[in-house]
Amino acid sequence: MLYQRSSQLFAEAEKVIPGGVNSPVRAFKSVGGTPIFVKSAKGAYLFDEDGNKLIDYINSWGPMILGHAYEPVVNALVEKAKLGTSFGMPTALETEIAALAVSMVPNIDKIRFVNSGTEACMSAIRLARGYTKRDKIIKFAGCYHGHSDSFLIQAGSGAITFGSPNSPGVTAGTAKDTLLANYNDLANVASLFEANKDEIAAIIIEPVAGNMGCIPPKEGFLEGLRQLCDDNNTLLIFDEVMTGFRLASGGAQELLGIKADIACFGKVIGGGLPVGAFAARNEIMNYLAPLGPVYQAGTLSGNPLAMAAGLAMLQSLHSDKAIFSRLEEKTAYLEKGIAKVLNNNKIIHTINRVGSMISVHFDANPVFDFNSAKNGDNDTFKKFFHGLLKEGVYIAPSAYETWFITDALTYEDLDFTINAIDKVSKDL
């Protein structure tokens, strides 16, 4: 496949957009080459500016669970757009999607919509600090919670790829309130509590990590965090921006049976439009303005297009629970197929998977935290990525990303992908 027009478009973009992209990982910096420019997408496929058709394993970094240009979402958008695109005033639609989300997610009474996952996590932390009247938070190395200052500290995926985990511009004052722990290391978290008695407002965590590849929580890890939070009057925040409405209709809280105090959402909850949300029980959510003292706002928050797309998406996920078992079966099939061809071709690897989140690491050892994720062979990953691109299979352009499986994928697509991996493996 040729990518000539994409290269030309990238050169033009670089003149007027920093690095040619509006979000860093898109730039192919860690794999080399130039990014693919998309013209359109439908179902499981991307169609690029050179006329290539690619099977998509990124799916807009998660939200296209039901495929691109999913008809109920597109129809809802077209109809709503005719009625006005933003009012900055309440609409009945906001209550409708909020009520549906509250009915789907365990352990929440109220939800507030924002415009991105970043905003959701940033607001959740402010709420936790206001509610507990404490300043410090614990985050895990390799977890990404958006690009707000408190979180740009060993932040996984894009931040690792670009080699500047502690971004210039984040002040020392902000950084000192973010305590870092190792994922899956409960003793490490317990020692932070001991050293910072009555100072920790919240632990924020991806309940299944997706920004250092896919990393499942070890048995007892999240339960242990829950207990530490209860013992120390600290809030447990689940960042479900990737896992929410994907691992189960009630997200990781439902799948893993652990209660969070605040849950953050993004991407999926807007059906692909710029939406995020955070949610909790009444006693916490009532701390938010205009009811309570913690300020949080947004001109475009809850705007009708985003809410219409999100509602259509959540309604589909709510009405067909079999979606989640289909996703599980398809991803398990893919996992088995990839393992078989990589083993046949004697490629050292580890595959991690939870539901429809999966990652392939070129390392023989278990990958369970940020340090073990960094051990993967990046040169092999680069060859793997470019090899697959030539075959028409698009995975994320970084070794630290998770693949997101869509229900639009057919078993023929999965077989095509496994064959492509077989071919590419022979040259690794």
Nearer to ligand PMP by Cβ, of 367 and 421: the residue is 367
Q: Is 267 a catalytic residue?
A: yes
- Closest residue to ligand PMP, based on beta-carbon distance: 117
Of 48, 56, 94, 239, the one binding ligand PMP (CB under 6 A) is: 239
**Min CB(202)–ligand PMP separation in Å:** 15
Which residues 4-23 are close enough to bind ligand PMP by CB under 6 A?
none
Nearer to ligand PMP by Cβ, of 305 and 414: the residue is 305
Q: Which stretch binds ligand PMP (CB under 6 A): 175-183, 206-214, 222-230, 282-290?
A: 206-214
Q: Is 320 a catalytic residue?
A: no
Nearer to ligand PMP by Cβ, of 214 and 389: the residue is 214
Which residues 128-147 are close enough to bind ligand PMP by CB under 6 A?
144-146
Of 57, 61, 287, 403, the one binding ligand PMP (CB under 6 A) is: 61
Catalytic residue among 239, 261, 407, 413: 239
Q: Is 39 a catalytic residue?
A: no
Per CB under 6 A, does 206 bind ligand PMP? Answer: yes
Binding mask 301-330 for ligand PMP (x = CB under 6 A): ------------------------------
Catalytic residue among 29, 80, 139, 267: 267
Of 52, 118, 303, 350, the one binding ligand PMP (CB under 6 A) is: 118
Catalytic residue among 3, 45, 57, 144: 144
One-letter-per-residue 3-state SS of the chain: CCCHHHHHHHHHHHHHCHHHCCCHHHHCCCCCCCCCCEEEEEECEEEECCCCEEEECCCCCCCCCCCECCHHHHHHHHHHHCCCCCCCCCCHHHHHHHHHHHHHCCCCCEEEEECCHHHHHHHHHHHHHHHHCCCEEEEECCCCCCCCHHHCCCCCHHHHHCCCCCCCCCCHHHHCCEEEECCCCHHHHHHHHHHCCCCEEEEEECCCECCCCCECCCCCHHHHHHHHHHHHCCEEEEECCCCCCCCCCCHHHHHHCCCCCEEEEEHHHHCCCCCEEEEECHHHHCCECCCCCECCCCCCCCCHHHHHHHHHHHHHHHHCCHHHHHHHHHHHHHHHHHHHHHHHCCCCCEEEEECCEEEEECCCCCCCCHHHHHCCCHHHHHHHHHHHHHHCEECCCCCCCCEECCCCCCHHHHHHHHHHHHHHHCCC
Residues in contact with ligand PMP by CB under 6 A are 61, 116-118, 121, 144-146, 206, 210-211, 239, 241-242, 266-267, 276
Residues taking part in catalysis = 144, 239, 267
